[in-house]
Amino acid sequence: MKLIKKGAEADIYQTVWQNSNAILKIRKTKNYRNSSLDSKIRKQRTIKESQILSQVKSFGIPAPLVYFVNLKNTSILMQEIPGKPVHDLSEPKIIQLSKTIGKLVGMLHKNGIMHGDLTTSNFIFFKNNIYVIDFGLSQNTIKPEDHAVDLRLIKEILNSAHAKIMVPAWKNFLLGYKSVVGSTNYVKITKLVSDIESRGRYAQVV
Amino acid sequence: MLGLGIESTAHTFSCAVIEKKGKKGKILSDVRKIYRPADGEGIHPREASRHHIENSSLVLSECLDEANVKVNDLDIVSYAGGPGLGPCLRVGAVVARSLASFYKIPIYPVNHALGHIELGKLLTGATNPLVLLVSGGHTMLLAFLNKQWRVFGETLDITLGQLLDQFGRSIGFASPCGKNIEELATTSSNYVTLPYSVKGNDVSFSGLLSATKSVAKKSKVDACYSIQETAFAMIAEAVERALSFTRKKELMIVGGVAANKRLSEMLQDVCKRHGAKFFVVPLKYAGDCGSQICWTGLLESQIKKGVSLKDTFVTQSWRLDTVKVNY
C-alpha cells in the first residue's frame, strides 16, 4: 500500500483489490478537532460519499466503482482512475473540457445531487473521458440554492487558480450546463449565483 | 525612506511611521486609540468617527514624537482607502489629505486587507504563503497569482470576527469579544453539536451564530467552547482544502482573530500534516494598525508617484481581489 496523496480530509493510498489497482481513501482522525465532532464528520462523509458514488453511476456519470466500505476506520476502497486531474492540464485543454464539466454538473443537478466541492482537481481526465471524484461534501438536494452554491464554487476556483482563462472556461462551462438543465433552470440558478455573490463581503453593491 | 500611515477603517484610529531601506522596514512608532462601544453593543459608525476625530491630532503628534521625526521629514503619507465604515474612513483620509496638501507630500490610498497581508509578510518573513485573513471585516483564503491576490475561499455571509462579536455581545460581552470567549471556552470541554457548514473552500457562519445563541441560554461556557471548536474546525478544514488545492508550502494567518491561541494551535496541526510552514503575525500587529497601511504605501511608492488629491477616494466596499499589485 503506497501513500499517493494527503488530501484535505483523507489520505489516499494506492493498493490492489482482486488483482486490479485500487484506491483506498481513509479519513483519519484529526487531532485538532473535538473528538465527537471529528468522528461524526468522518462517519457521515464516508457514508455519503460511498452512497452517492454508487448513485451517480446509475445515471451515467463516470465515477470510480466502490469496492468496499469500512465504517470502523472510515475508509472507502474504490476503483483507481489513473488519469490526470483537469487542474494539471494545459490551459487550452481546460477551456475545451469546461463544456463537458458543465454537462456533468448539469447531469448531477438534474438528478438531485449537489457535488459540494467542485474544483478542477476533482475531475480526472482519463481515456478521453472525464471522471468525477470526491463526493465527501455531496448532498441529495433538488434545491436550486444548493445547485447555485456548486456553480459559485467552480466559478471561484476558475477565477483564482485559472484566472487567465476564467472568461472562456466559465462561458464553456455554462454552455454545457445549460444544454443539460434547460433554459428555465439555467436562468433561475445563475440568478441565484449572483444573489449569493451579492451577499458576500464587500460585494459590489450597485 | 520615511512613511506615515493612517488607519481608520473601523474601531481603531492609528498612525505609524516606518523607515524603509531596500526591502526592509523598521517600525519607528505605531500609536493607536480604540473606540469601545458599551457592553453588549456593536460599533456605531457615527460615534466611532467622532472618537477618531477627537483623537486624531493627539495620535498623530504622539506618533511623530515617538518616532522622533517631523512632518517635513516624511517622504510619503498613506491612508486606508477601504474597505470599512464610511464615516470612519473619511477621518483618516481627511488627516492624510491635509498633511499631503499643506506639506506637499505624495499621498497613497491603501487597501486595508492588503495592508494586513503585506505587514504580515514583512514581520513573519513568509515569501509565498497561502494567507488566511480573519478579522471583523474579512474571512478569506488568498494566494498570489498574476499580480493579484486571488480568493480561494471565503465566508458566504458573516466573518469569523463578526460571528464571535455578535455571539459575545448576545451574552453581554463588550466588542471585540474574541478574548473573553477564548477565556471562557478554556473552562469547558463539553461539546454541544452545532451546525457545521463547509462548502468546498467556503464557509458559512450565520446558522452557527443562531444555534449557539440558543445553546448559551442553557450554558454560556459550553456555548463558548462549542462555537470555537465548530467555527475553527470549519476554518481549519477550509485551509486544508486550499492548501491541498494550491499546493502552497506556507500558511500565514493575519487579522484580529489571528490572536486566538486555539485557532493557531489547530492550524499548526494542519500545517504539520501538509508539510507547510506556519506563520502568525505577532500579536501586537494582528489587529488594525497604522503600520499595515504605512508599509503597503511604502511598497506602492516604489513604482508610483502617489495620486492627485482629487483621486484620494474612500470606498466602503473595496475588495482586495480587485487591487493590482505591481511592485
Q: What is the pLDDT of residue A145?
A: 95
Q: What is the pLDDT of residue A206?
A: 39
Q: Using a cut of 0.90, tell me whether the model's pTM lies above it.
A: yes
Examine the domain organization and report whether A117 and A139 are in the same domain. Answer: yes
Examine the domain organization and report whether A92 and A193 are in the same domain. Answer: yes
Residue A206, in any domain of the structure: no
Residue A205, in any domain of the structure: no
Per-window interface: A 157-176 vs B, CB < 8 A: 157, 159-161, 163-164
Examine the domain organization and report whether A64 and A116 are in the same domain. Answer: no
In 3D, which of B119, B68, B83, B95 has the Cα closest to residue B13?
A: B95
Q: What is the pLDDT of residue A203?
A: 74
In 3D, which of A201, A160, A159, A193 has the Cα closest to residue A177?
A: A193
Contact A6 B145 (CB under 8 A): no
Examine the domain organization and report whether A75 and A89 are in the same domain. Answer: no
CB pairs under 8 A between A and B: 114
Examine the domain organization and report whether A125 and A179 are in the same domain. Answer: yes
Contact A33 B152 (CB under 8 A): no
Contact A41 B196 (CB under 8 A): yes
Q: Residues of A with CB below 8 A from B86's CB? A: none
Tell me the pLDDT tens digit for each residue of A168-186.
999 999 999 999 999 999 9
Please check whether the two domains, B2-116+287-322 and B127-285, share a CATH topology: yes
Is B143 at the interface with chain A, CB within 8 A? Answer: yes
Tell me the pLDDT tens digit for each residue of A54-67.
999 999 999 999 99
Nearest to B191 among A34, A87, A153 (CB): A34
Is A121 at the interface with chain B, CB within 8 A? Answer: yes
Q: What is the pLDDT of residue B41?
A: 87
CATH of the domain at A92: 1.10.510.10
Examine the domain organization and report whether A150 and A178 are in the same domain. Answer: yes
Domain end call among A63, A79, A95: A79
Tell me the pLDDT tens digit for each residue of A113-138.
999 999 999 999 999 999 999 999 99
Examine the domain organization and report whether A109 and A41 are in the same domain. Answer: no
Examine the domain organization and report whether A54 and A110 are in the same domain. Answer: no
Examine the domain organization and report whether A127 and A57 are in the same domain. Answer: no
Which listed CATH number (3.40.720.10, 3.30.300.30, 3.30.420.40, 2.40.100.10) goes with B2-116+287-322? 3.30.420.40
Q: Provide the residue range defining the domain that includes A143.
A: 84-199
Q: Residues of A with CB below 8 A from B111's CB? A: none
* Residue in chain B lying closest to A202 (CA): B317
CATH of the domain at A31: 3.30.200.20
Contact A6 B243 (CB under 8 A): no
Per-domain boundaries in chain B: 2-116+287-322, 127-285
Q: What is the ipTM of this complex?
A: 0.90
Stretches in chain A below the pLDDT threshold 50: 206
With beta carbons less than 8 A apart as the criterion, state whether B196 and B234 touch. Answer: yes
Nearest to A160 among B83, B150, B229 (CB): B150
Region for B11 from its dihedrals, namely left if φ exceeds 0, alpha if ψ lies in -120 to 50, beta otherwise: alpha
Stretches in chain B below the pLDDT threshold 70: none
Class of domain B127-285: alpha beta
Examine the domain organization and report whether A112 and A152 are in the same domain. Answer: yes
Spell out where chain B has E strands: 2-7, 12-21, 24-34, 76-82, 107-111, 130-134, 139-145, 148-154, 198-199, 202-203, 250-254, 277-280
Residue A141, in any domain of the structure: yes
Examine the domain organization and report whether A28 and A66 are in the same domain. Answer: yes
Examine the domain organization and report whether A109 and A51 are in the same domain. Answer: no
State the total domains in chain A.
2
In 3D, which of B1, B35, B5 has the Cα closest to residue B17?
A: B5
Contact B156 A196 (CB under 8 A): yes
Q: What is the pLDDT of residue B108?
A: 98
Is A196 at the interface with chain B, CB within 8 A? Answer: yes
Task: Give the separation between CA B76 and CA B64, rounded to whole angstroms.
Answer: 14
User: CA of B101, closest CA in chain A: separation in Å?
Assistant: 30
User: CA of A158, closest CA in chain B: separation in Å?
Assistant: 10
